[in-house]
Amino acid sequence: MKQLRIWIGALAACISIGAVQAQGVRPEVGKPLQQAGELLKAGKAKDALAKVREADAMPGKTPAEQLTIDRMKGAAAQRAGDSATAIQAFEAVFNSGKLSGAEQAQVAESLAFAYSQQKDWPRTGQWAQKAQAAGSTSAQLKQLLAYVQSQSGDYSAIAKEAQAAVATAEAAGRKPDEGDLLRLADAQQRTGQTQARAATLDKLLAYYPKKDYWAIFLGQLPRKSGFSDRFSLDVLRLKLATGTLTKTDDFMEMAQLSLQAGLPSEGRAVIDKGFASGALGTGAEAERHKRLRDLAVKQESELKVAIDKDVQEAGAAKNGNALVQVGYALASMGQYDKGIPLIEQGIAKGGLKRPEDAKLRLGLALLQSGKHKAKAVQTLRSVQGADGAADLGRLWAVYASQQG
């Protein structure tokens, strides 16, 4: 574990003669405390602790004097790395009954860090919780408590604490801390909270849309239990949109899947992006890449010639499957004004083999058109199913929310 930063805060506030006298401390006690404060400021913690002990050795100390001594002793000892002495002093201060709520939080936090130096994780956790209960919102304390919880393996406690932090931030209209979301997702995974973890990851992607997070999430998605292979192209579409489609094999696979799906315009566009990025058109497979591009161009030309006939045949069909297919093909060609209504007609006509897939296609076409973002998000979020359709709809909605 990295060395935890020692927090001292305002506990050395009694370093001046004026402050010492104001607390009813006699000069013979106050003078070595003042010297201790000056030494502490100068970074001479061990010498400061010696001066505090000199004051502590004075006979007949009053409760006020003892409290002032213990404050200084705890601060000096903690700075000097003497955690045992710091603990003894700070516990005496905390139990004095003379502290305000803010002071209780400061002292409890110092005790949490002092116990962490001794690797006494149960007491570290107890004092960290006392500090939070007293009002501490220190980021360092949150990190310490998270570390303690991970040491104990109490992932239920980690999930509860991280969830509370996320909820508090959202209720206040603030973006949750990235670390809280990561801790929550990890704890949910370890405790088998699959659906809750998916929701947390959605928030992580929504609040922190980093390519690394998209790459990890989309890399794991096809391995999710029940996820259908027919959505392989959809996963690659999301990778392309989020900038995480970078491998030559992925560009080739997406282009080939697009051609197989009867979407040569999409396939040609993917190939063009692959060539532009340098992922395609170079190396030992360069000629193969060019042949695939030629095939995509040929199929795209053929589709443009046949599309009107396909639309007529789809309209005459008994169910809406062909209308959805030809509508999305038109959308992939950039003809959204023609394609979107056809998909909607297909859904309304009914008899669909996979109704949720059709809603996913409609949501994508609406989003890709750039004109119907709100409707696209609504449609995408309405997609259901345990085979991957709902996951993809939800992720596309998250992606859409990040676009201007």
Question: What residues does each domain of the chain span?
Answer: 13-111, 209-401
Give the residue-averaged pLDDT of 176-202.
Answer: 87
Question: Which tokens go with 292?
Answer: 């695939």
Q: What is the pTM of this model?
A: 0.67
- Cβ pair 255, 267 in contact under 8 A: yes
Tell me what the mean pLDDT of segment 306-327 comes to.
96
Region class of 293: left (phi > 0), else alpha (psi between -120 and 50), else beta: alpha
pLDDT one-digit tens code per residue, 102-135: 888 888 888 888 888 888 888 888 888 888 888 8
Q: What average pLDDT does the segment 187-207 reach?
A: 87
Nearest in space to 162 (alpha carbons), one of 141, 190, 185, 191: 185
Mean pLDDT of 315-324: 96
Q: 386 vs 13, 307, 350, 353, 382, CA distance in Å?
A: 61, 33, 21, 16, 13
Burial class of residue 19 in the structure, from the number of CB atoms within 10 Å of its CB (0-12 exposed, 13-18 middle, 19+ buried)? middle
pLDDT of residue 321: 96
- Residue 6's pLDDT is 38
Q: How far apart are the first and last CA of the chain?
A: 42
Q: Calculate mean pLDDT across residues 56-74.
A: 85
pLDDT at 1 over 60: no
Give the span between the Cα atoms of 130 and 109, in whole angstroms: 8
pLDDT at 224: 86
Closest CA to 399 of 235, 169, 230: 235
Going by pLDDT thresholds of 50, 70 and 90, the confidence category of residue 23 is low
The pLDDT of 74-95, averaged and rounded, is 88
Across 176-255, where does the E strand assignment appear? none
Residues 51-78 have a mean pLDDT of 86
